Amino acid sequence: MPIDPALEYILLGKNGATAVVDGGEKFWSLPPGQLEKFGHGWLVSEFTCTEDWPNWEVHPEGDELVYVLEGDVEFLLEQPEGLQRIRVQGRGLVIVHRGLWHTARVHSPSRLLHITMGAGTRQRPAFAEPGVPAWELAQLNVGLMKGPKDSPVMAEFVASLDRINAIADASPGFVWRLQTEEGDATAIRPCTDANVIVNLSVWQDLESLRRYVYESEHLQLVRRRKEWFERMDQAFQVLWWVPKGHRPTVEEAMERLELLRRIGPSAEAFDFRYPHPVPASGAP
């Protein structure tokens, strides 16, 4: 029987073999680990679009071919020199190069055939003004404790955490913070040294974070930092802009900190002394 790529997707493997898998909702509801497996070949799939795409997306591993079979679609591509628009009415093929953020505005119901190397695909929400997404501020703070969490030297600091975290959660402009199910971020240790703890959070803007750090009870902890934490010769805090809705991982945050330590403040990683404004471009 002929294969309908709207119902069954085709995976063109790197070894030249093909595989047929169930498509549609059954495919996209698979666990992330299984979806990632399909991302290391060329996935052939068909979609019927009646509304604008809800997200921008980028494919870092390979170019994407989007074949408009019928309809009226306008593709938005974030080129280094600015936003590029390609409108396809009827039928036509658009090549989206790897690493290029893109989305689509659907002017009439359309059928699209995609051929995509999906490994590492990332998305961010689409907004009313194409090419000008909202941004939020991420921050990482790293500390080397003078002793284990249950040691006497750390007792007062540990006892203050719940209160200070509650103040952060209720602060204007607060968006998100890294924490365990029990609400404890200090239990997450990114380094081999068990005395290294991190604080990772996202805020609406720089001013919201500044007010919390320097104008709330949190300032008392800042002033007493030397009582609980060893002096660090390198930067221990980093700020950077993330697309609205993005929740950075510890690994991503540590990479930003290393970047700040290596080259100093930049648009990709900065601090309170040398802040960078919200990006003017849509590309993160």
Domains and CATH numbers, the chain: 8-125 (2.60.120.10), 135-263 (3.30.70.100)
d(CA 220, CA 213): 9
DSSP 31: -
For residue 42, pLDDT over 60 is answered with yes
d(CA 42, CA 225): 52
Largest CA distance in the chain: 73
For residue 74, pLDDT over 50 is answered with yes
Q: Over range 124-148, report the average pLDDT.
A: 77
User: What pLDDT, on a 0 to 100 scale, did the predictor assign at position 195?
Assistant: 86
Q: What is the pLDDT of residues 176-202, one digit of tens each?
A: 998 876 666 666 666 667 788 899 999
Closest to 137 in 3D by CA, of 237, 20, 9, 27: 237
d(CA 30, CA 38): 11
Q: Which amino acid is at 272?
A: F
Instruction: Say if residues 47 and 69 touch (Cβ distance below 8 Å).
Output: no
User: What pLDDT, on a 0 to 100 scale, did the predictor assign at position 189?
Assistant: 64
Burial of residue 221 (CB within 10 Å: 0-12, 13-18, 19+) is: middle
- Residue identified by tokens 């471009």 is 281
Q: What is the pLDDT of residues 209-242, one digit of tens each?
A: 999 998 888 888 889 989 999 998 899 999 999 9
Closest to 161 in 3D by CA, of 184, 189, 195, 137: 184
| Residues 6+ away with beta carbon under 8 Å from 186 | 149, 158, 161, 197
